[in-house]
Amino acid sequence: MQERLVELKTEALEKVAQAEDAKALQDVKVQYLGKKGPITEVLRGMGKLPKEERPVIGQMANDVREEISTAIDEKQTKMEEAALEKQLQEETIDVTLPGRPAQTGGPHLLTSLIEEIEDLFIGMGFEIAEGPEVEVDYYNFEALNLPKGHPARDMQDSFYITEEMLMRTHTSPVQARTMEQHKGKGPVKVICPGKVYRRDTDDATHSHQFTQIEGLLVDKHVRMSDLKGVLNAFAKQMFGEEREIRLRPSFFPFTEPSVEMDISCKMCGGEGCSVCKGTGWIEILGAGMVHPNVLEMAGYDPNEYTGFAFGMGPERIAMLKYGIDDIRHFYTNDVRFLNQFHKA
Residues comprising the binding site? 256
What is the C-alpha separation between 254 and 150, in angstroms, rounded?
12
Identify whether 257 is preceded by a cis peptide bond (ω within 30 of 0): yes
What is the C-alpha separation between 113 and 43, in angstroms, rounded?
81
Q: How far is CA 177 from CA 143, 174, 210, 289, in A?
A: 9, 5, 21, 18
What is the C-alpha separation between 65 and 252, in angstroms, rounded?
92
Strand ranges across the sheet with 165-167: 134-136, 165-167, 160-162
What is the C-alpha separation between 140 and 163, in angstroms, rounded?
13
What is the C-alpha separation between 10 and 39, in angstroms, rounded?
13
Helix (H) or strand (E) holding 8: helix 2-18
**Rg for the chain, CA atoms, rounded:** 40
Best CA proximity match to 172, nearest among 294, 318, 317, 262: 294
Q: Are strands 281-290 and 306-312 parallel, antiparallel or unpaired?
A: antiparallel
Q: How far is CA 142 from CA 111, 136, 139, 306, 330, in A?
A: 30, 10, 6, 19, 32
Known binding residues for Mg(2+) are 256
What is the C-alpha separation between 291 and 287, in angstroms, rounded?
11
Length of the chain measured in residues: 344
